[in-house]
Structure 1
Amino acid sequence: MSETVPALIRETFPVGPLQCNCTLIGDPVSKRALVVDPGGNPELIVARLRAHGLTLVAIIHTHAHLDHFLASGELKKATGATLHLHKEDRFLWDNLEMQCQMFGVPYAPVPAPDQWLADDEALSCGCGVALHTPGHTPGSMSFWFPEAKLLIAGDTLFRRGIGRTDLWGGDYATLERSIRERLYRLDEDATVVTGHGPDTRLGDEMRENPFVRA
């Protein structure tokens, strides 16, 4: 008899002043973990990692709008984990103070990313892969965990919605292409973790999303 592989640890909860969805992904065997989009409340994130008995190895970002990385510096300081971002969003990362001023959010400096994410790059745990899905921002990424049928879409795709394209570097045609050609080609039974608000199912968005249908 083959042994049952324990399920990936996944917990998603809203953080920070703009209630960005932060997601913990943990390997149940090695206890190594990723955190996606720590947009605030670093103490809460560290507490949830401890509750699961996980060691954080990497902090990965779907994009570099302030609400998705406000706690990245504090989390790196607390855990020693590396920071990861797509290079095309560096201009946003470097302008965090300006973004904070625009949205009336207190500014806390964040160190430069340790590594640049690449399209189709294997992630450091959970058998995940990084997908470059530009449009909301030039460097927007989605993270796909095929064995768990889990897609972390950031602000590219929402439940019956899509990411806005009226901020720095946004482009509607590029966003639509990313959704159609990258996300809608994945398993339609996948759970989609969005950047804000509730999870959705990929197949439901393919058929019912009023902005982009498969």
Structure 2
Amino acid sequence: MNPLPVSLIRETFPVGPLQCNCTLIGDPVSKHAIVVDPGGDEQKILARLQHHGLTLVSIIHTHAHFDHFLASGRLKELTGATLHLHKADQPLWESLEMQCQMFGVPYTPVPSPDRWLSDDEELACGCGVALHTPGHTPGSMSFWFAEHKLLIAGDTLFRRGVGRTDLWGGDQRAIVRSIKERLYRLDEDATVVTGHGPDTRLGDEMRENPFVRA
């Protein structure tokens, strides 16, 4: 876990068969937490929440590809937390079972999202906002925690890479526009939590990402 100001609890770790990065964000005062992209291993996620003394209230998704949701249904069942997604990814959410079948991954049933995320919407715990950053999928979201200079980019931006656009709903022009017009306008000192692989620094990507430069 990377150190952040004491006013925020953050831990990121890989889960599931595709090692999707799952992130816990907790308010140390209320002890309420959100989980971003629980792509599997619900018992591990629950254990980390318990370690921090957090109560899960919201499960949010950067997008609706199967590897980012595999523990969502069980987490909701076990904790009562609400599920959140951008509405533009509803068709992908409704095809999660088909996605799993195509990749040979066991499907765990997951209910429909409780509510749809909106652009610039304040997240639970009041510590961040949702940014609509389409391209990898039509409803791809990033989550920005300005006070803590933390950006959860999902599969939109990677360390020296960008998200694929050859999967369901991908759009190359849209992802470039999202990165340039939404992400690269944030604080360049921000830590970027990617959907897979290591964290990066936003300013480094602005200058050195071979696919999209500021």
TM-score bin (small chain): over 0.9
8 Å Cα contact 1:191/1:201 also seen in 2: yes
Name the counterpart of 1:196: 196
1:172-202 residue CA offsets vs partner (Å, 9 max, x unmatched) = 0000000000000000000000000000000
8 Å Cα contact 1:126/1:145 also seen in 2: no
Q: Distance in 1 between matches of 2:32 and 2:108?
A: 27
Name the counterpart of 1:103: 103
Q: Distance in 1 between matches of 2:94 and 2:25?
A: 27
Name the counterpart of 2:13: 13
Name the counterpart of 2:144: 144
Which residue identity is paired with 1:111? P
8 Å Cα contact 1:26/1:126 also seen in 2: no
Q: Distance in 2 between matches of 1:80 and 1:97?
A: 22
8 Å Cα contact 1:150/1:193 also seen in 2: yes
Any idea what SS the aligned residue of 2:124 has? coil
8 Å Cα contact 1:8/1:126 also seen in 2: no
Q: Distance in 2 between matches of 1:156 and 1:131?
A: 11
8 Å Cα contact 1:135/1:165 also seen in 2: yes
Name the counterpart of 1:70: 70
1:28-69 residue CA offsets vs partner (Å, 9 max, x unmatched) = 111110000000000000010000000111000000000000
Give the TM-score normalised by the residue count of structure 1: 0.97
Task: Identify unmatched segments of 5+ residues in structure 1.
Answer: none
Task: Identify unmatched segments of 5+ residues in structure 2.
Answer: none
Shift of 1:127: 1.5
Aligned pairs (5 A) from 1:44-55:
44-55=44-55
Shift of 1:126: 4.9
Which residue identity is paired with 2:7? A
Q: Distance in 1 between matches of 2:9 and 2:78?
A: 21
1:70-108 residue CA offsets vs partner (Å, 9 max, x unmatched) = 100000011100000000001111001110011110011
Shift of 1:7: 2.9
Shift of 1:6: 2.9
Q: Which runs of 4+ in 1 moved over 3 A?
A: none
Aligned pairs (5 A) from 1:149-188:
149-188=149-188
Q: How many residue pairs are counted as aligned between the two chains?
A: 210
| Residue 26 (str. 1) matches residue 32 (str. 2) | no
Q: Name the % identity.
A: 82
Give the TM-score normalised by the residue count of structure 2: 0.97
8 Å Cα contact 1:22/1:38 also seen in 2: yes
Aligned pairs (5 A) from 1:56-135:
56-135=56-135
Q: Distance in 1 between matches of 2:160 and 2:84?
A: 28
